[in-house]
Amino acid sequence: MADLPKPKIVKLESNSKYQRLFNKDSGTLGLKSGHVILKKGEEIGEHSTNDLEEALVILKGKGLLLINSEEEFDFEDNSVLYIPPDTIHNVKNTGNGILEYIFITSNAK
């Protein structure tokens, strides 16, 4: 039987746009997550979830989630967004301050 991952704590950085939190290299079985900080007007860039489900936990700010260049969802802090597998999406900061969130992905198939 393979060794199970060990519990761990990662301190969130407040001075970087992107911080990897957990992935297989850090000892998880398949969970991936990261911490993102976008300045006013910044966006993460259009990308696909491929075969992953994704949740965005919005910690601070306001933004816009664009899905497949067609659907738009406005959101603000204290919200959790779900993005299904095989979905092209982008996150934009539409607020006056920073947009800060945690993303969490998991294999869907």
6-58 residue pLDDT tens: 899 999 998 889 999 999 888 888 899 999 999 999 999 999 989 999 999 99
In a domain, 76, yes or no: yes
Is 24 contained in some domain?
A: yes
Buried b / exposed e across 44-65, counting CB within 10 Å, b at 16+? beeeebeebbbebbbbebbbbb
- Report the run of H or E that residue 90 belongs to, with start and end: strand 88-93
Predicted TM-score (pTM) of this structure: 0.91
Report yes or no on 32 lying in a domain. yes
Is residue 93 pLDDT above 90, yes or no?
yes
Residue 49 placed within a domain: yes
- The domain that holds 27 is classified in CATH as 2.60.120.10
3 found inside a domain: no
Please check whether residue 13 lies inside any domain of the structure. Answer: no
| Any domain includes 55 | yes
**Do the domain assignments include residue 99?**
yes
Q: Which amino acid is at 63?
A: G
Is residue 64 within 8 A of residue 91, CB to CB? The reply is: yes
User: Which structural domain, as residue segments, surrounds residue 28?
Assistant: 18-107
Contact between 62 and 101 under an 8 Å Cβ cutoff? The reply is no
Residues forming a β-bridge with 93: 63
- Number of structural domains (the chain) is 1
